[in-house]
């Protein structure tokens, strides 16, 4: 029997491809995103598009209630919505940093809290949290983004132990470099902190790297990650962590086994 799945951040990239793949394989999919106009064609796959901002409690409650009223259950929650805030720690306003945490951590935490009682009542369920290779490594100018992903790693591990007695599984997906809008959007966002910055020697090469089309071409196709989403959401015995995408395993290996000094030399070389 197909599963009832709610996936956030489904208007583009990995989330969109995963929603389509899950629906095409017989699952009932609710695809959430702020840009609902970009999901109109998902109805062709039998997907129900729902407008939602994960930082809005009203949106989160409305969408969960809608699914429970229509389907009677939520089998899988895929917390995919997120973005990358990049800029110097000294110069990013804390208001912006708090919003980064609201989207990447607290929004998905609230949505998870809303879904868990229904999963406990059903005696089964699965929470799939989309972290990043950035949850294990780091880059200059990405302190707040990496902080959210490092936090999500620990949060998910604790949640997995807490929910295991209720037959609720918690899975982490850690994408590497993927061919999505992430690099272009992140590079453009970084530009607003550039004017007059004391950190221009870092910002300029970083922006060039992020918006470089050749950099994007080296990324893994989003459909490859969608296959990982499907496995993490539906296989009987999922892994605790899935690592997939260009550079993901090499950079984790370098930091873990060769140390921070070697890893940081590699970062400096890339930014030249």
What average pLDDT score do residues 238-245 get?
Answer: 95
Which residue do the tokens 């890339």 mark?
270
**What is the percent of the chain where pLDDT is above 70?**
97
Q: Could you tell me the two tokens for 166?
A: 């209720």
pLDDT digit string (tens) for 45-98?
A: 999 999 999 999 999 999 999 999 999 999 999 999 999 999 999 999 999 999
Label residue 257 exposed, middle or buried (CB < 10 Å: 0-12, 13-18, 19+).
Answer: exposed
Which residue do the tokens 């470089």 mark?
212
Tell me what pLDDT residue 270 has. Answer: 80
The span from the CA of 256 to the CA of 137, in Å, is 9
Catalytic residue among 30, 86, 145, 242: 145
pLDDT digit string (tens) for 126-151?
A: 999 999 999 999 999 999 999 999 99
Residue 193: pLDDT above 70?
yes
pLDDT digit string (tens) for 243-263?
A: 999 889 999 999 999 999 999
Tell me what pLDDT residue 239 has. Answer: 97
Whole-prediction pTM value?
Answer: 0.93
Tell me what pLDDT residue 170 has. Answer: 98
Q: Is 193 a catalytic residue?
A: no
The span from the CA of 91 to the CA of 212, in Å, is 24
The span from the CA of 151 to the CA of 189, in Å, is 22
Tell me what pLDDT residue 215 has. Answer: 67
pLDDT digit string (tens) for 30-47?
A: 999 998 989 999 999 999
Tell me what pLDDT residue 189 has. Answer: 79
CATH for the stretch 4-180+220-248: 3.40.50.720
Q: Could you tell me the two tokens for 118?
A: 């229904």
Residue closest to 156 by CA, chosen among 131, 121, 176: 131
The span from the CA of 27 to the CA of 20, in Å, is 10
């Amino acid at each position: 029997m197909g599963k009832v799945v709610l996936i956030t951040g489904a208007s583009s990239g990995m989330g969109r491809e995963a929603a389509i793949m899950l629906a095409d394989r017989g699952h009932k999919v609710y695809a959430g995103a702020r840009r609902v106009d970009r999901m109109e064609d998902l109805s062709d796959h039998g997907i129900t598009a729902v407008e939602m901002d994960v930082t809005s409690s009203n949106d989160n409650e409305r969408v969960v209630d809608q699914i429970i009223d229509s389907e009677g259950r939520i089998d899988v929650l895929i917390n995919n919505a997120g973005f990358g805030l990049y800029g110097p720690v000294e110069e990013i306003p804390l208001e912006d940093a708090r919003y980064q945490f609201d989207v990447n951590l607290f929004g998905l935490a609230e949505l998870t809290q809303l879904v868990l009682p229904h999963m406990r009542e059903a005696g089964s369920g699965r929470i799939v949290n989309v972290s990043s290779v950035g949850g294990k490594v780091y880059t200059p100018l990405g302190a707040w983004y990496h902080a959210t992903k490092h936090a999500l790693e620990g949060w998910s591990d604790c949640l997995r132990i807490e929910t295991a007695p209720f037959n609720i599984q918690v899975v982490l997906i850690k994408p590497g470099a993927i061919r999505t809008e992430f690099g272009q959007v992140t590079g453009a966002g970084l530009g607003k902190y550039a004017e007059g910055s004391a950190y221009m020697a870092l910002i300029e090469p970083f922006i060039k790297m992020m918006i470089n089309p050749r950099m994007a071409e080296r990324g893994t196709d989003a459909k490859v990650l969608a296959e990982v989403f499907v496995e993490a959401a539906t296989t009987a015995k999922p892994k605790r962590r899935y690592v997939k995408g260009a550079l993901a395993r090499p950079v984790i290996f370098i930091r873990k086994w060769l140390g921070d000094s070697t890893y940081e030399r590699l970062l400096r070389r890339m930014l030249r």
